[in-house]
Amino acid sequence: MRTLLLAGTALLTLAGTAIPASAQVSDNVIRIGVLNDRSGIYADLAGEGSAIAARMAAEEFGNKVAGAPVEIVVADHQNKADIAASKAREWVDTGGVDAIADVPNSAAALAVQGITKDKKRIFLMSGPGATALSGAQCSPYGFQWTYDNYAMAAGTGRALYEQGKKKWFFVTADYAFGQSLEEETTKMVKSLGGTIVGSVRHPLGTSDFSSFLLQAQGSGADVIGLANAGGDTVNAVKQAAEFGITQAGQSLAGLLMFITDVNALGLQSAQGLMLTTGFYWDMDDQTREWSKKFEAKAGKKPTMVQAGVYSAVKHYLKAVEAAKTDDADKVAAKMRELPVEDMFAKKGKVAANGRMFHDMYLAQVKTPAESKGAWDYYKIVKTIPADTAFMDPKQSGCPLVK
Amino acid sequence: MVSLLGIPPQVLFGQLLLGLINGSFYALLSLGLAVIFGMLNVINFAHGALYMVGAFVAWLLLTYAGIGYWGALVIAPVVVGLLGILLEKTMLSRLYKLDHLYGLLLTFGLALILEGAFRHQYGVSGQPYPIPAALQGGQNLGFMFLPNYRGWVVVASLVICFGTWFAIERTKLGAYLRAATENPTLVQAFGINVPVMVSLTYGFGVALAGLAGVLAAPIYQVSPLMGTNLIIIVFAVVVIGGMGSILGAIVTGLGLGLLEGLTKVFYPEASNIVVFVVMAIVLLIKPAGLFGRER
């Protein structure tokens, strides 16, 4: 009996010494849910690639932080806010998920932001662009990592203005997203002293842009800003090439373009196009090395959204390691405190409103002659420093900024 | 120069010409639908998907076999046509005796399967397809810059549209076809193989969609969803022209293209809706469509 008691005490003591390492980690696992579009229009720019990126981040920690194993789970939100919300709720309530990552499509992201805010879970946004996510709808636990509509619009507007392109014409998708891109760019261009010579609104999902391009061509603008996305942008650029718009001296600026769009266009059509990006695989040794590893798993180079997922997940795990807990309040504080330093962001910093400040890049699409092969698409024309790339947190309307 | 309703004539002419170009696309696609409906009484919802397959075949030929645009212009419609015949023989032919709705449901399902399969294989963001070297560049018409490729599209589709109309309405083969739809038993009794003729008609109808896909590849995004974006408008064109009326499909296709072009000048936001507004008005006044016969 006595020996049994002794053994029991010894066991308890042993267990007791083993617990502290992961005592602060709920259910002893750090679980990160990558929630994005896996079959629809964002599947190529986020999709499985984002899950691969998240796994790569976890592997760098040996799939273990603060003594607890790291697990990546994935789900498809099908670009529907209600599906995203119910999946997020399920993950948090019964799945033991500590952080949700990616979530392209701003409507879905806004829904998830509400849930993670109420339930105190970390939300690592790479895919969504709505500025409200780090503005009026900001959350102490929500982090907007890769880009936002302000950075894309204002960044491109400013960078092109500085290149002497001062007269703009907009081809805008006629819904909230397109209008907000146009508005942000207009504000920036006008504040610098440029002019808007005209704009035309087209319905979402237009296949023929020739009428609009003809109007833009006749407007005498220096830059034709495409305030649309995805298939609309691709069709517009393809047809602009056909009408010889860039050859005639006007610049074409895609206000929200991803490298997958350029790949879909081909360099013959896309050459000369200006765009802003948060990441390009061929920037330095670090990005090249990481992208090569990514390509080996995914079969293609990463988009900025996928690279952003990697960086955000890595920073989150770093914060968990430093805080020695997965408690959302403590981890969020650490995430704001620690600098972001990896192949994606150099000297990045998380502001009070959850916006991660990092340099953005103005890129120009190469000509077929300049390109050395597959995915060799961008020339980085200019680095847009973090503090001018993003909106000043004080003006974001986020109640967390004092 | 005088301006018309505040729009300079150059802009107006330019837009009208562009409208004609789009209209010829509509005409080509709705022609195939009209042929299939007129001869087979099938509402072919897979038309948009087969148009997409046509564009993808062109892309596959270029990427994997090195066969360029001109080769694709011949091969892709044949491939799509054969695919159509296969679908007709194995599935569609079983439904002729049933209500139209079954054909519609089957072809709708086929469209979803085709699109899903391409989306799974090639992703959603689309594939690049260049304009053939011989048709690059353009002409300055004074009032607008007309890319050579667009000019070619108009000419090609007009020739095909009126050729088809002629073949069906003015030749002996066309007469057989029309007779076979009117009374298949009687025509079969005269020693004509009606089932083969019906298969070939379906094959031809969808081959037109495949051809339109190849014509579209250099100017529109080659993506699995490209058919879905266009097919609804094309259906509206067929309804306005009168279900099954070949001339109706051609004339309405061109006419609506022009109307859409004008809308893009005066009120661009409505350019996707104008076709449907016209459809609603036509259905109210003349339910059989502009060129359709009451049955």
Q: Is A377 on the interface with B (CB under 8 A)?
A: no
Confidence at residue A364, expressed as pLDDT on a 0 to 100 scale: 93
Confidence at residue A73, expressed as pLDDT on a 0 to 100 scale: 96
Confidence at residue A141, expressed as pLDDT on a 0 to 100 scale: 97
Please report, as a single letter, which amino acid is at residue A31.
Answer: R
Q: Which of residues 172-211 of A touch B (CB under 8 A)?
A: 174, 200-203, 205-208, 210-211
Q: Is A218 on the interface with B (CB under 8 A)?
A: yes
Whether residues A100 and A204 share a domain: the answer is no
- pLDDT tier for residue A140 given thresholds of 50, 70 and 90: very high
Confidence at residue A10, expressed as pLDDT on a 0 to 100 scale: 52
pLDDT at A7 over 70: no
Whether residues A352 and A365 share a domain: the answer is no
Span between the terminal Cα atoms of chain A, in Å: 63
Whether residues A268 and A345 share a domain: the answer is no
pLDDT at A9 over 60: no
Whether residues A270 and A175 share a domain: the answer is yes
Quick one: closest CA in B to A261, which residue? Answer: B125
pLDDT over 90 percentage in chain A: 71
CB pair distance less than 8 Å for B18 and A211: yes
Q: Is A40 on the interface with B (CB under 8 A)?
A: yes
Interatomic CA distance for residues A137 and A115, integer angstroms: 12
Q: Is B129 on the interface with A (CB under 8 A)?
A: yes
8 A C-beta contact, residue A313 and residue A32 = yes
Q: Which residues of B touch A305 (CB under 8 A)?
A: none
Phi, psi values for residue A77, rounded to 5°: -95, 0
Q: Which residues of B touch A269 (CB under 8 A)?
A: 128, 130
Q: Which two tokens stand for residue B185?
A: 């038993």
Q: Name the residue range of residue A354's domain.
A: 26-147+284-358
CB pair distance less than 8 Å for A231 and B223: yes
Residue A335 or B20, more confident: A335
Which member of A202, A238, A243 has the closest CB to residue B145? Answer: A243
Confidence at residue A13, expressed as pLDDT on a 0 to 100 scale: 47
Q: Which two tokens stand for residue A43?
A: 């599947």
Q: Is A43 on the interface with B (CB under 8 A)?
A: yes
Q: Is A220 on the interface with B (CB under 8 A)?
A: no
Which member of B15, B124, B226 has the closest CB to residue A211? Answer: B15
A383 in any annotated domain: yes
Test the B interface: residue of A213, A242, A259 with most B CBs within 10 Å: A242
Instruction: Please report, for the domain that includes residue A67, its CATH number.
Output: 3.40.50.2300
Q: Which residues of A touch B229 (CB under 8 A)?
A: 205, 207, 231
- Of A116, A104, A108, A101, the closest CA to residue A51 belongs to A101
Please report, as a single letter, which amino acid is at residue B74.
Answer: V
Domains held by chain A: number:
2
Test the A interface: residue of B13, B118, B120, B124 with most A CBs within 10 Å: B124
pLDDT at A352 over 90: yes
Confidence at residue A15, expressed as pLDDT on a 0 to 100 scale: 46
Whether residues A91 and A181 share a domain: the answer is no
Interatomic CA distance for residues B259 and A220, integer angstroms: 27
Q: Which two tokens stand for residue A54?
A: 């998240």
Please report, as a single letter, which amino acid is at residue A248.
Answer: A
Q: Which residues of A touch B126 (CB under 8 A)?
A: 231, 234, 264
Tens digits of per-residue pLDDT, A266-318? 998 899 899 999 999 999 999 999 999 999 999 999 999 999 999 999 999 99
Whether residues A353 and A367 share a domain: the answer is no
Please report, as a single letter, which amino acid is at residue B25.
Answer: F
A398 in any annotated domain: no
Q: Is B268 on the interface with A (CB under 8 A)?
A: yes
A129 in any annotated domain: yes
Q: Which two tokens stand for residue A159?
A: 């960078």
A9 in any annotated domain: no
A336 in any annotated domain: yes
Q: Is A215 on the interface with B (CB under 8 A)?
A: yes
A267 in any annotated domain: yes
Whether residues A139 and A186 share a domain: the answer is no
Whether residues A138 and A212 share a domain: the answer is no
8 A C-beta contact, residue A288 and residue A282 = yes
Q: Which two tokens stand for residue B177?
A: 């076809």
Whether residues A48 and A78 share a domain: the answer is yes
CB pair distance less than 8 Å for B271 and A41: no
**Candidates 1.10.260, 1.10.3470, 3.30.420, 2.60.98; CATH matching B9-285:** 1.10.3470
Nearest-Cα distance to chain A for B126, in Å, is: 5
Q: Is B9 on the interface with A (CB under 8 A)?
A: no
Question: Running along chain B, 295 residues long, what does each successive block of 10 average in pLDDT?
Answer: 60 82 90 87 92 96 94 96 96 87 92 92 86 87 84 92 91 88 85 90 94 93 86 90 87 92 85 91 91 72
CB pair distance less than 8 Å for B272 and A201: no
Interatomic CA distance for residues B234 and A360, integer angstroms: 43
Which member of B123, B144, B229 has the closest CB to residue A43? Answer: B123
Residues in chain A: 402
Whether residues A196 and A271 share a domain: the answer is yes
Give residue limits of the domains in chain B.
9-285
Whether residues A164 and A236 share a domain: the answer is yes
pLDDT at A23 over 80: no
Please report, as a single letter, which amino acid is at residue A320.
Answer: V
A400 in any annotated domain: no
Q: How far from A164 is each of A9, A194, A222, B256, CA to CA, in Å?
A: 78, 10, 9, 42
Residue A144 or B12, more confident: A144
Confidence at residue A312, expressed as pLDDT on a 0 to 100 scale: 97
Whether residues A83 and A119 share a domain: the answer is yes
A19 in any annotated domain: no
